[in-house]
Amino acid sequence: MRIIAGKYRGRNLKSPASAQVRPTSDRLRETLFNVISGRVAGRRFLDLCAGSGAVGIEALSRGAQHATFVEQSKKMAALIKSNLELCRIPANEAQVLISDALAFLRSTKKRSDAIRSWDLIFFDPPYAVDYLPVLELLGSKSDLLNNDGVLIVEHSSKKSLPELLDGLVCTRVLKQGDSSLSFYGKAPKAHIT
């Protein structure tokens, strides 16, 4: 795995040793950032089920203001920290948290501080996981996703996600091999081109 573009371009990241972890491929990551390229600089990025951290680090490389990495495995969280150090990313630009995605979102929703929402959220759980609880929590009744924010969900191309769900509207689906990226925004303002 390598960083594709930006200030950390060309840096090789450490990969997970386990075959059970499915990192987002360089090609799919490049496709993702081609779509959201104009929305990354100066924005807050949340990498849910972060794995190696490659997607969030790519966002930082392309100018994201801050990235929050949420990973439930202590081993994978250590790998993310190692990859952040490898790229020499300043500590004030990244935060690594060990938590289940849903538990993290529920606890964050209850917080009252100003930094509890994101402009871009990338959600890439194991393909066998039920996506709906997280999607429902990120819907319109929540301010976890900013009003003009984008939620990107990576999932199996064999799995269809709802087009409309609790104030979120799917505006685009990109298929690439066995994986798909579904882009969501808050209804009715959502529009991804």
| Any domain includes 56 | yes
Number of domains in the chain: 1
CATH of the domain at 182: 3.40.50.150
Domain residues for the domain of 103 are 26-186
| Any domain includes 12 | no
Give CA–CA dist 61/83, Å, rounded: 12
On the question of pLDDT at 141 being above 80, the answer is no
- Tens of pLDDT, residue by residue over 172-186, are 999 998 999 999 998
On the question of pLDDT at 54 being above 60, the answer is yes
- pTM value is 0.91
- Cα separations (Å) of 78 from 38, 57, 83? 30, 14, 9
